[in-house]
C-alpha cells in the first residue's frame, strides 16, 4: 500500500503537467475571436450530438467510433455518446417463433421444455429469453430480422451527412466506414459469434478469476445463440455498489488480465467492452456477449504495441520510426507536420501508456480519465490537425482504441487498483 501511495504521488504531479499543457500550439487568437470560436464549437457539437443521437444502429456506432478516434465531440457529449447503445425494438413472441421456424424449422417449445414468452433483457440487436431443458437453464439470444440489410443502407445514407456535419473528407473516413461496417456486419452473424466465443473461452479458461458461459452450437444458428444461463450482478451495478476495495481490485484485475491475454497472447479481442457484457458472480468476472471481436495480425500487433516500450518516450528517433511504421507519419509530410505529429503523439502516448509504466496503477484516480478527455478536447479544437491531408494510420487501430478506451472507462468506474505487467517482448533485459 505504501508503495502504491508513493506511485500515486508521482503520477499526480505528472497529471498536472498534462492538464495545463497545450497539446498543439497554434497562433494566438484574440480573446473575442476565441470566444466566437468557442460558441461556434459548442453549437456544432450540439448539432452533431442531436443528429447522431437520433440515428440508431450503424450510423450511431459509426459516430461513436469517430468521436473516440477523432475527438470530434466535447468531452461531455463524448461521454454520453459513447455509452449509448444502439438498440432494436422488442420482438413479439410470434416473431421469435418465426425466427426459430426460419433457422431450425421448429418452434421454441419443440426444442426446449419451457421458453419464456417475454424476453428477460435486450441485447444490442435482439433480446434474450430464458429457457429450460432437462433441468438445465439457457439464455437464448434472438436477433431482430433485417438488421444486416438496414445496416448497410443506413450507413450509405448517413455517410454524406456525416462528412458534411463533421467537416471531414471522403478519403479520410473511407477506411473508418469500411472497418465499422465490417465489424457491425460480423455482429449480425451469430454463427461467427458462437465460433469466436467458444474459441476465446477455451483459450482463456486458465485465467483464475474469469469465467464464461457454456455455448450450445446445436441450439444456435445465424439469428439465434444459445448459452448457459448465468445469474450474476451486471458489472455496472457492481461498480456502483458498496463493494469493498478488495473486491473491486480482484474484479478489475480479472478484467485487466483477460484483456492482456486476449491482446498480447491471442491477438483476438473483445472489441466493444461495455458493462452489459460482463457479470460479477462471487469472485469471478463472467464474460458474455462476444458480438464484437477484432482479430489483428501479429505484424500489426507488434507495430501498434511497440508504443508500450519504456525506451520510446526518451527517444525521438525510435518514436518517429514507430510512427512511420504505422503510417501515422507519411512520406509526404513536411518537417513542421512531422514535429506537430510527434508532439501530439508523445503527449497521447505518455498519458495512455501511463498504466504500464510503474507495474501497478490506480484506475480510481479521477484525474486520469479526465486528462484523457481533456486531451481529446484540446485536439478537437486544434484545427491544424484536421487540415493535415492524407489517409493515416491503419483502420485496425480504430477498434484497438475502442477496446482500450472501453477498458479504461470500465476500470475507472470500478475504481480498481491493478498490477500491470509488460508483455515479455517489451521488457528490458
Cβ distance to other proteins smaller for residue 25 or 153: 153
Sequence-distant (≥ 6) Cβ neighbours of residue 142 within 8 angstroms: 91, 96, 99, 100, 119, 126, 127, 128, 129, 223, 224
**Residue 295 pairs with which residues in a beta bridge?**
268
Q: Assess contact for 141 and 132: CB atoms under 8 A.
A: no
Q: Cβ atoms within 10 A of the Cβ of 427, count?
A: 10
The minimum distance between CB 224 and other proteins, in angstroms, equals 14
Cβ distance to other proteins smaller for residue 44 or 132: 132
Number of helical H runs and strand E runs in the chain: 17, 13
Cβ distance to other proteins smaller for residue 189 or 320: 189
Cell of 55: 440515428
* Radius of gyration, alpha carbons of the chain: 23
- The residue written with cell numbers 437520433 in the block is 54
Cell of 395: 483502420
The minimum distance between CB 131 and other proteins, in angstroms, equals 14
Cβ distance to other proteins smaller for residue 126 or 412: 126
The minimum distance between CB 146 and other proteins, in angstroms, equals 4
Sequence-distant (≥ 6) Cβ neighbours of residue 51 within 8 angstroms: 161, 165
Cell of 185: 456486419
Cell of 269: 479481442
Cβ distance to other proteins smaller for residue 60 or 286: 60
Cell of 353: 501508456
The minimum distance between CB 86 and other proteins, in angstroms, equals 15
Q: Cβ atoms within 10 A of the Cβ of 198, count?
A: 15
Cβ distance to other proteins smaller for residue 147 or 375: 147
Task: Note the helical H segments in 84-146.
Answer: 93-104, 108-111
The minimum distance between CB 89 and other proteins, in angstroms, equals 7
The minimum distance between CB 115 and other proteins, in angstroms, equals 10
Binding site for other proteins (CB under 8 A): 89, 91-95, 97-98, 101-102, 107, 109, 144-146, 148-150
Cβ distance to other proteins smaller for residue 103 or 327: 103
Q: Please tell me what DSSP assigns to residue 264.
A: I
The minimum distance between CB 142 and other proteins, in angstroms, equals 12
The minimum distance between CB 222 and other proteins, in angstroms, equals 10
Cβ distance to other proteins smaller for residue 7 or 150: 150
In angstroms, what CA-CA distances link 43 with 31, 46, 73, 79? 18, 5, 11, 17
Amino acid at each position: 500500500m505504501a508503495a502504491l501511495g508513493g506511485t500515486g504521488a508521482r503520477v499526480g504531479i505528472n497529471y498536472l503537467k498534462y492538464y495545463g499543457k497545450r497539446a498543439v500550439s497554434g497562433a494566438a487568437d484574440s480573446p473575442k475571436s476565441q470566444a466566437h470560436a468557442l460558441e461556434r464549437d459548442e453549437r456544432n457539437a450540439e448539432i452533431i450530438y442531436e443528429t447522431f443521437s437520433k440515428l440508431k444502429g450503424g450510423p450511431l456506432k459509426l459516430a461513436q467510433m469517430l468521436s473516440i478516434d477523432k475527438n470530434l465531440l466535447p468531452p461531455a457529449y463524448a461521454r454520453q455518446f459513447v455509452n449509448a447503445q444502439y438498440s432494436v425494438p422488442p420482438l413479439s413472441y410470434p416473431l421469435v417463433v418465426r425466427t426459430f421456424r426460419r433457422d431450425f424449422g421448429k418452434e421454441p417449445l419443440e426444442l426446449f421444455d419451457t421458453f419464456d414468452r417475454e424476453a428477460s433483457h435486450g441485447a444490442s440487436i435482439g433480446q434474450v429469453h430464458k429457457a429450460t431443458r432437462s433441468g438445465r437453464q439457457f439464455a437464448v439470444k434472438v436477433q431482430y430480422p433485417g438488421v444486416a440489410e438496414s445496416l448497410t443502407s443506413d450507413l450509405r445514407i448517413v455517410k454524406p451527412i456525416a462528412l458534411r456535419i463533421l467537416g471531414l473528407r471522403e478519403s479520410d473516413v473511407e477506411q473508418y466506414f469500411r472497418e465499422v461496417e465490417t465489424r457491425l456486419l460480423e455482429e449480425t452473424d451469430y454463427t461467427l459469434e458462437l465460433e469466436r466465443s467458444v474459441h476465446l473461452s477455451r483459450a482463456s479458461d486458465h485465467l483464475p478469476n474469469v469465467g464464461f458461459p457454456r455455448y450450445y452450437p446445436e441450439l444456435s444458428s445465424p439469428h439465434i445463440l444459445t448459452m448457459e444461463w448465468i445469474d450474476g450482478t451486471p458489472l455496472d451495478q457492481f461498480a456502483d455498489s458498496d463493494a469493498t476495495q478488495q473486491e473491486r481490485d480482484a474484479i478489475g484485475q480479472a478484467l485487466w488480465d483477460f484483456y492482456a491475454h486476449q491482446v498480447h497472447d491471442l491477438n483476438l479481442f473483445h472489441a466493444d467492452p461495455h458493462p452489459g457484457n460482463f457479470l460479477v458472480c462471487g469472485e469471478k468476472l463472467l464474460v458474455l456477449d462476444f458480438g464484437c471481436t477484432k482479430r489483428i495480425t501479429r505484424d500489426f500487433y507488434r507495430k501498434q504495441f511497440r508504443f508500450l516500450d519504456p525506451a520510446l518516450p526518451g527517444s525521438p528517433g525510435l518514436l518517429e520510426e514507430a510512427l512511420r511504421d504505422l503510417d501515422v507519419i507519411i512520406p509526404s509530410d513536411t518537417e513542421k507536420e512531422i514535429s506537430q505529429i510527434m508532439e501530439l503523439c508523445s503527449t497521447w502516448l505518455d498519458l495512455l501508456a501511463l498504466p504500464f509504466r510503474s507495474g501497478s496503477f490506480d484506475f480510481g484516480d479521477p484525474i486520469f480519465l479526465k486528462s484523457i478527455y481533456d486531451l481529446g478536447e484540446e485536439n478537437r479544437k486544434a484545427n491544424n490537425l484536421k487540415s493535415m491531408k492524407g489517409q493515416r494510420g491503419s483502420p485496425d487501430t480504430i477498434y484497438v482504441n475502442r477496446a482500450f478506451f472501453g477498458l479504461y472507462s470500465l476500470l475507472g468506474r470500478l475504481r480498481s487498483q491493478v498490477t500491470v505487467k509488460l508483455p515479455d517482448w517489451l521488457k528490458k533485459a
